[in-house]
Amino acid sequence: MDASTPPDIALTRFHLRRLHALWRSAGWPCQDLLEVELLALGLLERLAEDGRERLRVTDAGVAALAAGRQRNRHAFDAHEALVQRVARHLQRSGRIVYTELKLRAQVAMVSPTQAVAVAPSGPEGAAALLPSTEALPPGLGFGDEPPEGAAAPGRQRWVQARPDVFSIRYTSVEAYLQPLVHEIKVRRGDLLSDLRKPEKRAAYLGMASECWYVLAEGIGGPEDVPAECGVLIATAAGLECARPAPPRAGRMRFDLWMALARATPLAADEDDAQGLLG
């Protein structure tokens, strides 16, 4: 290949992150292979100032950053649109829906590819949403911070749990609440990245009686998602069930109740409210 011929290098999110970091900084080089590729692509250029070398984002690099931002914005808009679609569907089913819950969960790593939620200590631990076959030490459950002086065992870790859609049934009977988690995916890359995080799924399974993946049509199917989760495919016609989620018996823990008490549920459309009335 001629030295003047642009190399065949695929631009990844790691390249764009480094470009963005250099755009916001003074441009001091890390001198790693990522910068070598950006220089070879013509997205960076080297400048010598006062005997020191720094990097500057070229016009081509600025164009690449702008294009990457547009792609991310499009993906974000598509994700939010599907979140709202699922949320409205759940509201019409008579459920209270939350879309911005932020929780912390303690999970136990059984293996590098398997994790399970840790039951909270105390009487509620026996009723936590865990598989009945798992024998786990008592843990700390969900909350903003672990109790003072508490320490997690070596094989346990804290996970930030932010379900795209969390919902409970509108009922006055605790046993009928049926908490659900719906995780929304509109890009296959995001789906595959998420599936490599067993601790995230364990956190969701620890707070819900069912966990569902809602996939945009064409990015995947039930063969991609672990069997403990259900799969919905979002098509133009509606939400199609590709595989039901296995139900899990259990009660909502007190710490999750407190998180819901501090959160604001998604406001229902007037049309949805009228539909529930008649």
Task: Determine which of 87-101, 238-252, 263-277 has the lowest per-residue pLDDT on average.
Answer: 263-277
Q: What was the pLDDT predicted at 181? A: 95
Q: What was the pLDDT predicted at 222? A: 95
DSSP per-residue string spanning the chain? --TTSPP-----HHHHHHHHHHHHS------SHHHHHHHHTTSEEEEEETTEEEEEE-HHHHHHHHHHHHHHHHHHHHHHHHHHHHHHHHHHTTEEEES---EEEEEEEEETTEEEEPPBSSGGGGGSSS-TT-----B--SSSSPPTT----TTEEEEEE--SEEEEES-S-GGG---EEEEEE-SHHHHHHHHT-HHHHHHHHHH-SEEEEEEETTS--GGGS-TTSEEEEE-SS-EEEEEPPPP------HHHHHHHHHS-PPPPPHHHHHHHH-
Domain residues of the chain, as ranges? 13-57, 77-277
Q: Read off the pLDDT of each residue in 195-200 and give the average, rounded to a whole number.
A: 88
Stronger pLDDT, 158 or 239, i.e. the higher one: 239
pLDDT band at 113 (very low <50, low <70, confident <90, very high): low
Q: What was the pLDDT predicted at 5? A: 57
Q: What was the pLDDT predicted at 135? A: 32
Residue-wise pLDDT tens digits, 60-73: 989 988 888 877 77
Residue 138 has pLDDT above 70, yes or no: no
Phi, psi angle pair for 52, to nearest 5°: -120, 150
Q: What was the pLDDT predicted at 100? A: 84
Longest CA–CA span in the chain (Å) reads: 78
Q: What was the pLDDT predicted at 97? A: 95
pLDDT band at 38 (very low <50, low <70, confident <90, very high): very high
Residue 140 has pLDDT above 90, yes or no: no
Residue 161 has pLDDT above 90, yes or no: no
Residue 36 has pLDDT above 50, yes or no: yes
Residue 145 has pLDDT above 60, yes or no: no
Residue-wise pLDDT tens digits, 226-244: 999 999 999 988 999 999 9
pTM given for the model? 0.64
